[in-house]
Structure 1
Amino acid sequence: YYMWAFALLSVATIPFMGFATAIEMKTFLGADEGDDEKAGENSSGGILVETLLNIRTVSALTLEEQRHEDYVRALRNSDPYYVRTSIKSGMASGFSILIQQWTNALQFWWGGWLIFNYPNQFSFDDFLISMFALLFSLFALGASSVGATDRKEAEKSAGRIFYLLNRKSSIDPLSDEGKTFEKEA
Structure 2
Amino acid sequence: MVPVVFAGVFLEARFMLGHGLKEKTAIEAATKIAVEAIGNIRTVASLCGEQLFLDQYLVELRLAQQAARRKTGLRGAVFSLGQTAWFYGYGLSLYYGGYLVATEGLPYKDIIKISEALIFGAWMLGQTLAFVPNYNAAKSAAGRLFYLVDRKPCISSPDENANELKAAGSIEYSEVKFKYPTRPEVSVLRGLDLLISPGQMVALVGPSGCGKSTCIQLLQRFYEPSLGTVSIQEKNIASVPLDCLRAQMGIVSQEPVLFDRTIAENIAYGDNSREVPMEEIIEAAKKANIHSFISSLPLGYETRLGSKGTQLSGGQKQRIAIARALVRNPRVLLLDEATSALDTHSEKVVQAALDQAKAGRTCITIAHRLATVQQADIICVLNRGVVAEMGSHSQLLEKQGLYCQLLRQAAGNCEQ
Smaller-chain TM-score range? 0.5 to 0.7
Mapped contact 1:3–1:127 kept (Cα < 8 A) = no
Rate the CA distance shift 1:90–1:80 in 2: closer, same or farther, 3 A. same
What's 1:7 paired with? Answer: 6
Report SS of the residue matched to 2:318: coil
What's 1:94 paired with? Answer: 65
What's 1:110 paired with? Answer: 81
TM-superposition CA deviations, 1:112-138 (whole Å, max 9, x none): 443222114353222112332x23431
Q: For structure 1, which segment, 165-174 or 18-27, has the greater mean C-alpha deviation from structure 2 after superposition? A: 165-174
Rate the CA distance shift 1:29–1:166 in 2: closer, same or farther, 3 A. farther
Cα distance between partner residues in 2 of 1:6 and 1:166: 63
Higher percent of residues as strand: 2
- Percent identity of the aligned residues? 11
Report SS of the residue matched to 1:128: helix
Cα distance between partner residues in 2 of 1:28 and 1:123: 38
Cα distance between partner residues in 2 of 1:3 and 1:166: 67
Task: Select the structure with the greater relative contact order (CA < 8 A; seq sep ≥ 6).
Answer: 1
Rate the CA distance shift 1:110–1:167 in 2: closer, same or farther, 3 A. same
Mapped contact 1:3–1:130 kept (Cα < 8 A) = no
What's 1:39 paired with? Answer: none
Q: Aligned partner of 2:66: which letter?
A: F
Q: Aligned partner of 1:24: which letter?
A: E
Cα distance between partner residues in 2 of 1:112 and 1:140: 21
Mapped contact 1:16–1:99 kept (Cα < 8 A) = no
Rate the CA distance shift 1:28–1:166 in 2: closer, same or farther, 3 A. farther
Mapped contact 1:24–1:96 kept (Cα < 8 A) = yes
Cα distance between partner residues in 1 of 2:126 and 2:25: 32
Query: Any residues of structure 2 matched to 1:150-169 within 5 Å, and which?
Result: 167-169=253-255
Give the TM-score normalised by structure 1. 0.55
What's 1:124 paired with? Answer: 123
What's 2:138 paired with? Answer: 140
Report SS of the residue matched to 2:254: coil
Where does the alignment leave 5 or more consecutive residues of structure 1 unmatched?
A: 34-42, 49-70, 181-185
Rate the CA distance shift 1:30–1:44 in 2: closer, same or farther, 3 A. closer
TM-superposition CA deviations, 1:40-79 (whole Å, max 9, x none): xxx768xx5xxxxxxxxxxxxxxxxxxxxxx433224467
Mapped contact 1:23–1:93 kept (Cα < 8 A) = yes
Where does the alignment leave 5 or more consecutive residues of structure 2 unmatched?
A: 91-114, 155-180, 183-216, 224-250, 256-313, 323-338, 340-344, 350-416
**Residue 114 of structure 2 is aligned to residue 28 of structure 1:** no
Higher percent of residues as helix: 1
The alpha-carbon deviation at position 98 of structure 1 amounts to 0.7
**Residue 56 of structure 2 is aligned to residue 85 of structure 1:** yes
| Match among 57, 61, 74 for residue 43 of structure 2 | 74
Q: Which has the larger radius of gyration?
A: 2
Give the TM-score normalised by structure 2. 0.27
The alpha-carbon deviation at position 81 of structure 1 amounts to 2.5
TM-superposition CA deviations, 1:145-174 (whole Å, max 9, x none): 22437x9xx966xx9xx59x8853264114
Cα distance between partner residues in 2 of 1:8 and 1:92: 28
Mapped contact 1:21–1:96 kept (Cα < 8 A) = yes
Q: Aligned partner of 1:129: which letter?
A: T
CA RMSD of superposed structures (Å): 4.1
What's 2:330 paired with? Answer: none
Q: Aligned partner of 1:16: which letter?
A: F
